[in-house]
Structure 1
């Protein structure tokens, strides 16, 4: 059976630099009826376990280590036995949320993850966070961008560990080079496509988020 993409929305808070905000997060489940990976274990491990429905979880993949994207990762790993994978450049952020529990493995640019016969390629896309990654699944015509690219523009870069010129470079060089019909599945909000976002790049640069 071919892999499919399922979306679960969980709610909680995001805290950084002394502020806290209410957020809804997209949790993406990629797999078939027997196995899956989870992209961003946000807020509610029990809800994610329920959505998995007994499937073997191969990995908990973190697009970056802001607390709203990783706060349920250790509990999900404990419940399923799956390893938590994170790009090492985001360890300082991870340790703000989980000081006593390191990730189980590292993500690196160009690395390939396989689930249900489908390959996802890790693209290092820093800017929103130093170790931010996107996951490109050409067979599914989709890319999971975390908080790097949204419908309508780049992720926020106004807080610690973020950098606007870097996120623009990541989007231009790593994401907008993908086929225009590629579906962009984001960390929050609605999905979009590469083709829908590409024409606005120069405008984002002018606005200088």
Structure 2
């Protein structure tokens, strides 16, 4: 059976630099009827477990370590035995949320994660966070971008650990080079395509933001 992508929206809060905001997060489950990986275990481990429906969880992949993307990761790992994987450049952010529980493994640029016979390649895309990554699944025609690229432009870079020129370089070099029909599945909000965002990102930059 070919891998499919299941989608769950969970709600909670995002906290950084002394502020807290209510947020809805996209949780992506990639797999078949027997096994899966979770991209960003946000807010509600029980809801994610229910969506897994008894499938073997192979890994919990963190696109970055802002608390709203990792707050449910330890509980989900404890319930399933799956390892939590994070790029090491985001360990300082991770420790703000989980000081007593380290990730189980590291993500590296070019690394391949395979589930249900489908390969997902890790793309290191710093900018929104130092260790931000995207996951490109060419067989599924999709890329999971976390908070690096949204419908309408780059992710936020106004808070600590983020850098606007770096996120622009990441998007231009790592994401806009993917096939234009590639579906962009984001950390928040609606999906888009690489081709659509190639147009939007240039307009966004031309406005001087």
Q: TM-score range by the shorter chain?
A: over 0.9
CA distance in 2, matches of 1:164, 1:203: 16
SS of structure 2 residue aligned to 1:41: coil
Instruction: Give a deviation string over 1:24-46, Cα, whole Å, max 9, x none.
Output: 00000000000000000000000
Within 5 Å, give how 1:34-183 maps onto structure 2: 34-183=34-183
1:189 positional shift: 0.3
Instruction: Give a deviation string over 1:141-163, Cα, whole Å, max 9, x none.
Output: 00000000000010000000000
CA distance in 2, matches of 1:9, 1:153: 21
SS of structure 2 residue aligned to 1:13: strand
Aligned to 1:185: 185
CA RMSD of aligned residues (A): 0.7
Contact 1:17 1:160 in 2 (8 A): yes
CA distance in 2, matches of 1:45, 1:201: 34
Long gaps (5+) in structure 2: none
Aligned to 2:15: 15
SS of structure 2 residue aligned to 1:145: strand
Aligned to 1:204: 204
CA distance in 1, matches of 2:188, 2:131: 18
1:208 positional shift: 4.7
Instruction: Give a deviation string over 1:84-137, Cα, whole Å, max 9, x none.
Output: 000000000000000000000000000000000000000000000000000000
Contact 1:164 1:208 in 2 (8 A): no
Long gaps (5+) in structure 1: none
CA distance in 2, matches of 1:159, 1:119: 33
Contact 2:14 2:22 in 1 (8 A): yes
CA distance in 2, matches of 1:116, 1:23: 31
TM-score (norm 1): 0.99
Change (3 A) 1:208 1:156: farther
TM-score (norm 2): 0.99
CA distance in 2, matches of 1:116, 1:169: 32
Which ranges of 4 or more aligned residues in structure 1 deviate by more than 2 Å? 200-209
SS of structure 2 residue aligned to 1:37: strand
Contact 1:61 1:85 in 2 (8 A): yes
